[in-house]
């Protein structure tokens, strides 16, 4: 079993070949269920994992956990780290360290329903990627191009996505 950067290369190659030969296997659906825990605190259940979110005090919360827009940044950062790990591994490039610094700009008037020319949500997200490797700069740039062009979270943030939010009225959950 060949392992690089913690990735089993044989399994990685088998997954790629399976999706290449059977594109239907690549069509996936992901789920989460989020419930209110009082105030601005909520908890999401994702495949049995519990993820808590809250707001900082200056947004009315109790600061017990990251807020949802911080989780968006963390999701992007995690997706990028995974992308660098998998792509580098499949190209035979060893990585010693990956760190990604992310920041984003949000205009609060729109979120509060106040008149604003800016819609609520991120208007700009910036990420700085730090890779430590003995690979050449050209090799790392190739990995970078692959990651940026294939990151599911990055591409979701950078384009319009169909969003269907349905209100279901019921007396009990």
The three-class DSSP label of residue 144 is helix
The answer to whether residues 53 and 97 belong to one domain is: no
Q: Is residue 76 part of a domain?
A: yes
The three-class DSSP label of residue 152 is helix
The answer to whether residues 70 and 117 belong to one domain is: yes
Q: Is residue 142 part of a domain?
A: yes
Q: How far apart are CA 171 and CA 131, in angstroms?
A: 52
The answer to whether residues 36 and 114 belong to one domain is: no
Q: Which range marks the domain in which residue 41 is found?
A: 31-61
Number of domains in the chain: 2
Is 88 within 8 Å of 98 (Cβ atoms)? no
The answer to whether residues 127 and 151 belong to one domain is: yes
| Whole-prediction pTM | 0.91
Residue 76: pLDDT band with limits 50, 70, 90? very high
- Over residues 119-157, the pLDDT tens digits come to 889 999 999 999 999 999 999 999 999 999 999 999 999
Q: How far apart are CA 162 and CA 46, in angstroms?
A: 21
- Over residues 35-68, the pLDDT tens digits come to 999 999 999 999 999 999 999 999 999 999 999 9
Residue 24: per-residue pLDDT: 93
Q: Is residue 42 part of a domain?
A: yes
Residue 172: pLDDT band with limits 50, 70, 90? low
Q: How far apart are CA 43 and CA 50, in angstroms?
A: 7
Q: How far apart are CA 131 and CA 33, in angstroms?
A: 34
């Amino acid at each position: 079993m060949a392992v690089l950067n913690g990735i089993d290369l044989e399994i990685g190659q088998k997954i790629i070949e399976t999706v290449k030969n059977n594109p239907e296997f690549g069509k996936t659906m992901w789920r989460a269920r989020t419930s209110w825990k009082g105030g601005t605190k909520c908890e999401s259940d994702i495949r049995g994992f519990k993820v808590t979110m809250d707001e900082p005090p200056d947004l009315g919360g109790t600061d017990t956990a990251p807020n949802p827009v911080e989780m968006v940044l963390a999701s992007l950062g995690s997706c990028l780290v995974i992308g660098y790990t998998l792509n580098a591994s499949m190209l035979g490039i060893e990585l010693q360290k990956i760190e990604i610094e992310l920041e984003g700009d949000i205009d609060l008037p729109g979120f509060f329903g106040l008149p604003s020319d800016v819609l609520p949500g991120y208007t700009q997200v910036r990420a700085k990627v730090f890779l430590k490797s003995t690979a050449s700069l050209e090799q790392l740039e190739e990995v970078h191009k692959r990651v940026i062009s294939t990151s599911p979270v990055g591409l979701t943030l950078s384009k319009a996505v169909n969003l269907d939010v349905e209100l279901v009225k019921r007396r009990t959950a």
